[in-house]
Amino acid sequence: MLKKVLCLLVVSLLVSCSGEDKKRDYSLGFKLYKSSFSDLKDWEDDDLYLFDKSVKSVCEALKKNNSSKLASDKFEVSLSEYKNHCEKIQNIKNNKSLKKYIEKNFLPYLVVNNGEAEGKFTSYYEAEIKANTVMGGKYKYPIYGKPNDLVEINLRDFDESLPNQRLVGRVKDGKLVKYYTRKEIDEGILDAPVILWGDNIVDIYLMQIQGAAVATLPDGSKIRVGYHDNNGHKFRGIGSILLEKKLIEPKDASMDKIREWLDDNGDKAKKNMLLNDRFIFHKIVEADGPIGAMGLPLYAGRSMAVDRSFIPLGVMLWVETKSPKGDLNKLVMAEDVGSAIKGAIRGDYFWGHGDDALKFAGKMNSSGRYYVILPKNAEVKVYD
C-alpha cells in the first residue's frame, strides 16, 4: 500500500510540473471527473438500439420514486432533475433524437477510484432450463421459492449511524441467526414452497448463478423464472472452486467449458457445487426479460449490474471495455446487482438469453472503464 501511495504522489508531482492534466490528479479516494462526449470512445457509432427501451423503463420507475436524490454511498444527485428529463425522454420517438437530447442535457463523468480509472467487466445471461409444475419422472429437482422463515433486517433501521446493510437470516430461540447453507438446504432442511421441478441439477445451479431463466414445460410452453431472494451467505464461484482444486485448467475456465465439466462429472460436480454456500430463491414472473434489482426487465446489451454502494441504480453509464466479439463501447443502464459484483469500477454486462448468450457471456472477463452520465444542471455531491 505504501509503495502504491508513493507512486501516486510521484505521478501527481510529474503531472503538476509538466502543467498537463492538472484537473485530473487521480488522487486517492472515489472521484468523478467531468468530461465531454467527445472523450467517449466511439460515442458517434452507438445507435442506441434497445437503449431507448431500457432508459424509458427506468424513467418510469424513477418517476414513482419518492426520494429526493439518486444516491450511492459515494455520490448523490438530485432526483428531481432526473424526473424532469424523464418526462421528456419518454416522449422522444427515435434514437437519433434521444442521443441529441442526452448530449444537450447531460454530462459524462469518468469514474476513478484510488487513482485507478480501470476496472473489471464480466457478463451474464438468462439461462434455459426444462421443468414441470409437478414432481415426477425426470423432474425431481426442486426449484424453491422464498422460504417462509426467511427474515430480513437493515442495520440502519435501528440506528442511523450503522451501515445501510441488508441482512437475512432466521429466528432461533428468539435470536436472528444465519440462514441455512446450500449444503443444509440440499439435505432437506427448508421451509419453502417449490415453484417448479427441474430435470437437471446443473441447469438449476447455473440458473442460480445467473439469477434467472426461461423454463420450458413438457407441453412446450415457456415461463420466466426470476430472482426472489437469497440465503445471505457469501458467493463462491464454481470456476474458482474448480481452479483451486486443479480440476480444470485456466484455459477451460469459461462458463461453457465449466458447464461441460459439471455435466460430465456427476457426483463430483455436485460435491463441488455444494461448496458455494450461497443459495438463490426464485419466483415466476411475467415480463419481457429477466427482472433486475430495480424490479424491471433487463435488455440484452443495454443493462448492467454494478456495485450499488458506488453506483446508484437508475443512472446511465458509458462503458468502454472488450467482449469476445471485440471492442464494447456503448451506453447502458445501471439497473442490476450481483453478489460477485463488488468495486467502484466493476460491471456485469447483460448479454441476453439462451445458448448463444452463454457462449459469449461465459468468455467475457476484461478490463475497462465507465463514465456515469448525469444531468448537466444537477449538483453532484461526491463523498470521498
Fold observed for domain 29-120+295-349+360-382: Barwin-like endoglucanases (2.40.40)
Residues 364-373: what's their mean pLDDT?
96
Q: Tell me how far the alpha carbon of residue 189 is from its chain's centroid.
A: 29
Contacts with 150 (C-beta within 8 Å, 6 or more apart), sequence order: 168, 169, 170, 179, 229, 231, 281
Pairing verdict, β 213-216 and 222-230? antiparallel
Instruction: Locate the domains of the chain by residue range.
Output: 29-120+295-349+360-382, 147-191
**What are 128-137's pLDDT values in tens digits?**
999 999 999 9
Q: Which of 119, 142, 116 is nearest to 129 (CA)?
A: 142
Ramachandran region, residue 60 (left: φ > 0; alpha: ψ -120 to 50; beta: rest): alpha
**Partners of 167 in the beta sheet?**
153
**Burial (CB count <10 Å: 0-12, 13-18, 19+), residue 73:** middle
Least confident of 37-41, 265-269, 286-290: 286-290
State the Cα–Cα distance between residues 46 and 48, nearest whole angstrom: 5
pTM, full prediction: 0.78
Sheet holding 175-177, edge to edge: 151-154, 166-172, 175-177
Q: How confident is the model at residue 25 (pLDDT cuts 50, 70, 90)?
A: low
Residue of 116, 53, 120 whose CA lies nearest to 331: 53
Between CA 178 and CA 244 the distance in angstroms is 26
Using CA atoms, how far residue 375 sits from 103, 167, 380, in Å, is 10, 33, 9
- Cell numbers representing residue 249 in the block: 485448467
User: pLDDT-based confidence at 29, cuts 50/70/90?
Assistant: very high
pLDDT in tens, 334-361: 999 988 899 999 999 999 987 788 888 8
Q: Using CA of residue 50, residue 53, residue 59, residue 65, what is the dihedral sign?
A: negative
| Residue 10 reports pLDDT greater than 60 | no
**3-state helix vs strand vs coil in the chain, percent to 5:** 30, 35, 40
Taking each helix axis from N to C end, the angle separating 266-273 and 201-210, rounded to the nearest 10 degrees, works out to: 30
Average confidence score pLDDT of the chain? 90
**Grid cell listed for 186:** 440440499
- Sign of the Cα torsion 301, 302, 307, 310 reads positive
User: Would you say 347 and 321 are in contact if contact means Cβ atoms under 8 Å apart?
Assistant: yes
pLDDT in tens, 83-97: 999 999 999 999 999
Write down the pLDDT at residue 24.
Answer: 54
Give me the mean pLDDT over the 50-57 stretch.
95
pLDDT tens, position by position, 91-116? 999 999 999 999 999 999 999 999 99
